């Protein structure tokens, strides 16, 4: 039997393929001189991919959302160059912190870390910061943070987007319009830890996913468990009730082909945002005008 070492080394090199200093978008991999050149090349635009580390069903790694967010940013940088901040796993995971492996920080620290991180990006020359989120529960934190940036003037502008591909279970008229390659293998396949993100992970890190374990936990369709409350009413333990094992959907049918289609879709969405942000002058000007008027409200 031939040694598998050459194959293993080949796969490793494929994931660690050398990138020229002129094209490398990853902050932590640059020298100081490379970073200065990269900022200029990116026109001061930097992306902070935000994910989470949490239980992700029986098939997906706990860093799925983080790995996905960074992969989308990396692919987008190939089409329109930006500087990408290092792995950021300070996430709003309080509602799933009852599951083993979840990394959760206090709400105060979550906000403080985001404030300090963005400020540090600004101090280092990022004049436009894009929060590219891959974890849906972060959106409330991000919205609060975005609004809070108006409290004090700062020499950078912050934008936020959620370019991650949509879950298509249960199907909607909007999801039905998406390309066939993006569609789930069955109507109830998508959900937290389900087919959609496990498929995407098969496209970027197939060594970390286990679709064959998709039935190791009970399969619960998204929305199968309802709160005894009217729609739109918020309550703290909603996730605990609706997803008791933190697994919704069915990951067993995930394929790399679907994952590649989902990744391409998400990448194009982020590229659209990057290009709009680079071209934008309205937000910085409005922030300056707001800062000038705030001490003298009228």
% of the chain surpassing 70 pLDDT: 93
The phi, psi pair for 45, rounded to 5°, reads: -95, 125
pLDDT band at 20; cut points 50, 70, 90: low
The answer to whether 156 and 115 have CB atoms below 8 angstroms apart is no
Domains, the chain, in order of start with CATH, read 21-222+238-279 (3.40.50.10310)
Reported as a single tens digit per residue, the pLDDT across 263-277 is: 999 999 999 999 999
For the cut 60, the answer to whether the pLDDT of residue 1 exceeds it is no
Section 129-139 average pLDDT: 97
Section 47-55 average pLDDT: 98
> What's the whole-number average pLDDT of the chain?
92
Reported as a single tens digit per residue, the pLDDT across 286-296 is: 999 999 999 99
% of the chain surpassing 90 pLDDT: 86
pLDDT band at 137; cut points 50, 70, 90: very high
Reported as a single tens digit per residue, the pLDDT across 165-203 is: 888 888 888 888 999 999 999 999 999 999 999 999 999
What predicted TM-score, i.e. pTM, was given to this entire model? 0.91
SS3 category, 197:
helix
Question: Which residues, 6 or more positions from 54, have their beta carbon under 8 angstroms from its beta carbon?
Answer: 62, 65, 91, 93, 96, 99, 101, 102, 103, 246
Identify the pLDDT of residue 178.
Answer: 93
Identify the pLDDT of residue 226.
Answer: 87
Identify the pLDDT of residue 7.
Answer: 36
How many CB atoms lie under 10 A from the CB of residue 202?
Answer: 24
Reported as a single tens digit per residue, the pLDDT across 53-99 is: 999 999 999 999 999 999 999 999 999 999 999 999 999 999 999 99
């Amino acid at each position: 039997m031939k040694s598998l070492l050459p194959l293993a080394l080949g796969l490793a090199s494929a994931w660690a393929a050398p990138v020229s200093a002129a094209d490398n978008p990853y902050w932590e991999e640059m020298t100081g001189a490379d970073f200065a050149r990269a900022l200029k090349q990116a026109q001061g635009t930097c992306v902070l991919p935000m994910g989470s580390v949490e239980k992700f069903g029986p098939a997906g790694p706990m860093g799925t959302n983080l790995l996905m967010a960074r992969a989308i940013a990396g692919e987008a940088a190939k089409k329109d160059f930006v500087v990408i901040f290092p792995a950021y796993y300070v996430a709003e995971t309080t509602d799933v912190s009852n599951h083993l492996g979840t990394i959760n920080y206090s709400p105060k620290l979550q906000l403080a870390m985001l404030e300090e991180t963005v400020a540090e990006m600004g101090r280092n020359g990022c004049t436009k910061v894009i929060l590219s989120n891959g974890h849906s529960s972060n959106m409330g934190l991000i919205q609060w943070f975005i609004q809070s940036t108006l409290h004090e003037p700062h020499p950078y502008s912050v934008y936020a987007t959620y370019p991650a591909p949509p879950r298509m279970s249960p199907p909607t008229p909007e999801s039905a319009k998406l390309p066939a390659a993006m569609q789930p293998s069955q109507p109830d396949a998508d959900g937290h830890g389900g087919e959609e993100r496990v498929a995407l992970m098969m496209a970027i890190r197939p060594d970390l996913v286990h679709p064959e374990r998709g039935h190791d936990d009970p399969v619960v369709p998204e929305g199968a468990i309802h709160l005894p409350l009217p729609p739109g009413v918020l309550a703290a333990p909603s996730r605990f009730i609706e997803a008791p094992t933190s697994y919704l959907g069915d990951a067993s049918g995930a394929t790399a082909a679907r994952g590649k289609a989902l990744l391409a879709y998400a990448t194009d969405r982020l590229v659209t945002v990057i290009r709009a942000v680079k071209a934008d002058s309205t937000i910085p000007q409005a922030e300056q005008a707001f800062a000038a008027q705030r001490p003298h409200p009228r």
